[in-house]
Amino acid sequence: MRSSAVPAILLAALILSGCSASSGAEDVLANVPSSETTNAITKPSGPIPAAAVGNPAPQASPPQQALSWTGPVPEPQALVPADRPVGMPMPTERPVAMLMPADPDVDPGAGTKSPTRSRIYGHRFRDAKPINFGSTSPRKLAVHGVDVSRWQGEIDWQTLQKQGANFVYIKATDGGDHLDPMFKKNWRQAKEAGMKRGAYHFFYWCRTAGEQADWFIRNVPKEANALPPVIDVEWNGESSCKQRISRARVLEKMQVFLEKVERHYGQRPIIYTAPDFYRDNLKGELLNYPFWLRSVAAHPSKVYPGRKWLFWQYSGSGLSDGVDGKIDLNVFNGNESDWHDWVATR
């Protein structure tokens, strides 16, 4: 088929016109972002929004290159809205102040105490039956505390703390079926007062050790900041269980309880005991456990010769503001630094 000369002349004119006026479709497409996904390595296809941080000196923007395009102009609905971020936006939502200390002149790691270290309150307790311990007085030790049960009734924890109770052990359970009626309230309120606290179990020799461990675990919360659990082992004539089993059975039952409780809480339990029970059953035993020793008439070194101890209960007749009646008084075996170090490893 023959082509006409006129269409050929018109086609040539159109081509020359397109070469001289290229600001049409390409100028529109120059502001259309690439459809490719960028990441931390790929250079964004569009300009990065300026971060609103500081007042940097104005800089000239590099010339924007037109995007090459080999296909037809996309439909208007396919275009990215003008308010949509292009490329990888700078994280402007995090305030710059969060990246710096509140006081730039203070180094947080230089000469400052750890924020987890609680204040140590000095001893201000009184005693209804004071004992002269001489040069081994518990008053010479820095960190005092108390142990409580329902018999102390309602407690003003803030006042008790300021009197010198830097820690408290709270009666939780007896045997395999008794919960101290004040335990939950005492446990909660001691925490609210900011006191270091732990729970103790009074052991019954007429119940299996496994039952007693389960009962304690059922009632005492597992909390990261709690002090290690305590097993209270003694001969108690006032208890409904008056059975006195052999030394071998005592140690066997204690070991079952101690191991089960340690597995649950992830803390080695502390053994609380009194002189007669210790003499009958614990002298020279369980050397890898910390001990809490009752000794209200003499220093533990005289009553429990050779035994290392963590806590000393030096009075059962303490008096303190914040508590009606008498309260047991205890002291930690070490200075303030030793106490903070020990608490930090619990």
Catalytic residue set: 234
Question: b/e map of 4-42 (b: 16 or more CB within 10 Å)?
Answer: eeeeeeeeeeeeeeeeeeeeeeeeeeeebbeeeeeeeee
Identify which of 301, 278, 305, 295 has the alpha carbon closest to the alpha carbon of residue 330: 295
User: Which residue blocks in the chain are alpha helix, DSSP H?
Assistant: 5-20, 25-29, 157-162, 183-192, 209-219, 247-265, 275-277, 300-303, 336-344
Structure token pair of residue 286: 């369980």
CA dihedral 230, 134, 159, 122 (to 10 degrees): -100
- Collapse the DSSP code of 3 into the 3-class scheme (helix H, G, I; strand E, B; otherwise coil) and give the result: coil
Identify which of 272, 304, 274, 286 has the alpha carbon closest to the alpha carbon of residue 145: 272
Identify which of 328, 324, 284, 331 has the alpha carbon closest to the alpha carbon of residue 308: 284
Structure token pair of residue 259: 């191991």
What's the number of CA atoms in the CB half-sphere (13 Å) around residue 52? 4
Structure token pair of residue 49: 């929004």
User: Which residue blocks in 173-246 are alpha helix, DSSP H?
Assistant: 183-192, 209-219
The H or E element that residue 307 is part of is none
Identify which of 230, 309, 312, 317 has the alpha carbon closest to the alpha carbon of residue 265: 230
